[in-house]
Amino acid sequence: MAGEERNLTNRDDSRPVRVKVDNVKKIYNGRNGEMVALNGVTLDIHDNEFICVVGPSGCGKSTLLNIIAGLLEPTSGAVYCDGKEVKGTGTDRGVVFHQYVLFPWLTVKKIPVTKIEQMAGCLL
């Protein structure tokens, strides 16, 4: 998704747009310098539409989903959910992770209750 612009807004669909991804760019500042993970990603998801984001490992799928979820901020561009700009996590969006995102180095008893509440707040 970093190499070329993808505009998926021109589909013939009269249903209201629930999620709008508007010209999103994401640059990570990694150990080896800047990494353009997303560039010019534009996408409308309509009411009751089921979308699959498919692509090879490293093409930016998780980055895009994390930006829609509000877990990551785009470098430029914006995401709107029901017309409201996404500025963080919210009760209108949920994420099911495909990996453990808890604290694998802690036992259940050692995880601070405040942390669990924070995480639950993120997901609810």
Ligand X SMILES: Nc1ncnc2c1ncn2[C@@H]1O[C@H](COP(=O)(O)OP(=O)(O)O)[C@@H](O)[C@H]1O
Q: Could you give the residue ranges of the DSSP H alpha helices within 18-106?
A: 61-69
Among 28, 81, 89, 122, the residue binding ligand X under the rule CB under 6 A is 28
Tell me whether residue 51 or residue 111 sits nearer to ligand X (CB atom): 51
Q: Could you say whether residue 27 binds ligand X (CB under 6 A)?
A: no
- Helix or strand (DSSP H, E) at 114: helix 113-123
Whichever of 32 and 114 has its CB closer to ligand X, that residue is 32
Site string for ligand X, 54-83 (x = CB under 6 A): -x-xxxxxxx--------------------
Q: How many CB atoms lie within 10 A of CB 65?
A: 15
CA distance linking residue 114 with residue 73, whole number of Å:
24
Q: Which does 28 bind (CB under 5 to 8 A by kind): ligand X, Mg ion, none?
A: ligand X
Q: For residue 23, give the nearest of 48, 50, 43 by alpha carbon.
A: 43
Residue with smaller CB distance to ligand X, 48 or 99: 99
Q: How far is the CB of 1 from ligand X (least distance, A)?
A: 8
How far is Cα 54 from Cα 61, in angstroms, rounded to an integer? 7
d(CA 106, CA 114): 14
Residues 50-89 touching Mg ion, rule: CB under 5 A, are 61-62
d(C-alpha 43, C-alpha 17), whole Å: 10
Q: Which residues in this chain contact Mg ion in the complex, by CB under 5 A?
A: 61-62
- Chain residues binding ligand X by CB under 6 A are 28, 30, 35, 37, 55, 57-63
